[in-house]
Amino acid sequence: MAELTALTIAEARDGLKKKSFSAAELADAHLAAMEKARALNAYVQETPERAHAMAKASDARIATGKAGALEGIPLAIKDMFCTEGVRTTASSRILENFVPTYESTVSAQLWRDGAVLLGKTNNDEFAMGSSNETSYFGPVTSPWRRKGANTKLVPGGSSGGSAAAVAANLALGATGTDTGGSIRQPAAFTGTVGIKPTYGRCSRWGIVAFASSLDQAGPFAKTTRDAAILLRSMAGHDPKDTTSVDRAVPDYEAAVGKSVKGMKIGIPKEYRVDGMPPEIEKMWEQGASWLKAAGAEIVEVSLPHTKYALPAYYIVNPAEASSNLARYDGVRYGLRVPGRDVIEMYEKTRAEGFGPEVRRRVMIGTYVLSAGYYDAYYLRAQKVRTLIKKDFEDCFKAGVHAMLTPATPSAAFGIGEKGKADPVEMYLNDVFTVTVNMAGLPGIVVPAGLDGQGLPLGLQLIGRPFDEEAIFSLGEIIEKAAGRFSAPKWW
Ligand code: GLN
């Protein structure tokens, strides 16, 4: 049998059912692998005691025939999800010692179904970033390297720890949050599968708020099937989040392997951006021909407002972030740096508690929301957002079931290589992913190939609202055709 950490969730589920191994053995194999992989910095906290206790309880339930859908499956949780009694930091100094007294709805649903917590994963501070380099706990190193080189590469961000953990076999699956691409971009960089479901599909309750009209939770997994298994547990209506939608959660796994015959797939011509590496262009065409061979119809479509998505996102996002982060004032949560009076205490706490990217977003956000600029920036960005959404709606109305696009404009880059002098250089990474958050649509990224340097590249499928099933069916076709990729072990 394959190493326990190399299994997929579906395989582990079978093995546990057949009693080929126990949940305790499965958890132990992962905890041992995590210990050996500390150089990757994927976890900000390992929770071996909790993992042992949960695995033991899973084994007891398996023995009595009461196993849940994820019984005994060891998972990593992004440190944006509040975990009761387990420190939750958002990878920020300001929350360095914050231990929540409650559990996020999404993680609670995973535990309800029997999953086992291995630890909390690293991310960009407050999920602001595309490389996991803004974390207070330091960057995550990708398990992937360029052929013949040992340059340390980023795993993408903001959910870099979750992506690296799954890619390096340090968890069978992981949670992420995606506000502008933070699940899909790291999935593309690490050869894993990541899905951002429709806005409202998962509850945001208990997730550290970043930009509330864009934030969604979703899973990372080794395969499309595994992502479908995880999303079924994570999704659902929650009265504690009024933006979560009261709609039955389908059996997403049943969509994996379903025929896509007759589905109309749009290729948005505006995604053919200047300077796109020819390898990505080629892979995109290859993806379209795989879907065509499976019986889908490929059509060129136009999303004319695409070019405004990035600038509009980088107004809406900081505006909401600046408002959400106002709560970190040294009074109620986390760090407090004393001052002569309360104003100085606020100032010192926030200056020392937040890193440079977070401070930048708070300043931009405050500026675009301020009297006199609100109409010129924030209101205008909201109008652009409506137009972006309408572009997609028009295509869907014309019969398109899903869109196929590249996931990122490049493969993974080196730690320290991008965005130092100009933060916009980093923001440009999100060019293919932010539109999906602006429109509230579901988007999945699946690995589609390796580039000339041996690094994974991903393709994105964007679906109609609440039609995650279609993109699971389509994603699996690409995954099957491309094959799976794993990083050669060096750590
Ligand atoms: N890279 C984007 C940003 O920095 C997206 C982050 C995210 O999805 N959390 O805003």
**274: pLDDT confidence band, cut at 50, 70 and 90?**
confident
Q: Which atom of ligand 1 is nearest to the CA of 317?
A: 10
Q: What mean pLDDT is predicted for residues 265-293?
A: 96
The number of distinct structural domains making up the chain is 1
Interatomic CA distance for residues 424 and 459, integer angstroms? 23
Q: With H, G, I as helix, E, B as strand and everything else as coil, classify residue 195.
A: strand
pTM: 0.98
Backbone CA torsion sign across 36, 175, 258, 300 = negative
C-beta of 182 in contact with ligand 1 (< 6 A):
yes
Backbone CA torsion sign across 139, 455, 303, 436 = negative
C-beta of 437 in contact with ligand 1 (< 6 A):
no
Q: Residue 450: inside a domain, yes or no?
A: yes
Interatomic CA distance for residues 110 and 42, integer angstroms? 20
- Which of 473, 471, 409, 398 has its CA nearest to residue 441? 471
Q: What are phi and psi of 343, to 5 degrees?
A: -65, -45
Task: Residue 127: give its domain's CATH number.
Answer: 3.90.1300.10
pLDDT of residue 479: 98
Q: What is the mean pLDDT of the chain?
A: 97
Mention every residue, 6+ apart, whose C-beta is less than 8 A from residue 272.
281
Selected catalytic residue, list 135, 182, 203, 244: 182
Selected catalytic residue, list 78, 120, 196, 222: 78
Per the omega criterion (within 30 degrees of 0), is the bond before 158 cis?
A: yes
C-beta of 128 in contact with ligand 1 (< 6 A):
yes
Residue 154 domain boundaries: 2-262+413-418+445-482
pLDDT of residue 342: 96
- Which of 176, 50, 29 has its CA nearest to residue 119? 50
Q: Residue 364: inside a domain, yes or no?
A: no
C-beta of 180 in contact with ligand 1 (< 6 A):
yes
pLDDT of residue 275: 87
**2: pLDDT confidence band, cut at 50, 70 and 90?**
low
Query: How much distance in Å is there from the Cα of 271 to the middle of ligand 1?
Result: 19
Q: With H, G, I as helix, E, B as strand and everything else as coil, classify residue 19.
A: coil
Interatomic CA distance for residues 486 and 190, integer angstroms? 9
pLDDT of residue 294: 98
461-484 pLDDT, tens digit each? 999 999 999 999 999 999 999 999
Pocket test for ligand 1, best of 182, 310, 432 (most atoms within 8 A of CB): 182
Q: Which atom of ligand 1 is nearest to the CA of 127?
A: 9
Q: Longest C-alpha distance within the chain, in Å? A: 70
Interatomic CA distance for residues 241 and 205, integer angstroms? 6
Q: What mean pLDDT is predicted for residues 393-419?
A: 97
Q: Residue 112: inside a domain, yes or no?
A: yes
Q: Residue 273: inside a domain, yes or no?
A: no
Q: What are phi and psi of 256, to 5 degrees?
A: -75, 120
In this model, does residue 1 exceed pLDDT 60? no
- Position 404: which residue type? L
Query: How much distance in Å is there from the Cα of 292 to the middle of ligand 1?
Result: 32
Q: Which atom of ligand 1 is nearest to the CA of 214?
A: 8
Q: What mean pLDDT is predicted for residues 270-279?
A: 92
415-458 pLDDT, tens digit each? 999 988 899 999 999 999 999 999 999 999 999 999 999 999 99
Clarify whether 158 is annotated catalytic.
yes
Pairing of strands 193-196, 443-450: antiparallel
30-89 pLDDT, tens digit each? 999 999 999 999 999 999 999 999 999 999 999 999 999 999 999 999 999 999 999 999
Clarify whether 107 is annotated catalytic.
no
Q: Residue 97: inside a domain, yes or no?
A: yes
Clarify whether 66 is annotated catalytic.
no
Q: Residue 213: inside a domain, yes or no?
A: yes
Q: Residue 353: inside a domain, yes or no?
A: no
Q: How far is CA 232 from the centre of its chain?
A: 16
117-141 pLDDT, tens digit each? 999 999 999 999 999 999 999 999 9
Q: Residue 323: inside a domain, yes or no?
A: no
Mention every residue, 6+ apart, whose C-beta is less than 8 A from residue 117.
47, 50, 51, 54, 74, 75, 77, 83, 86, 107, 111
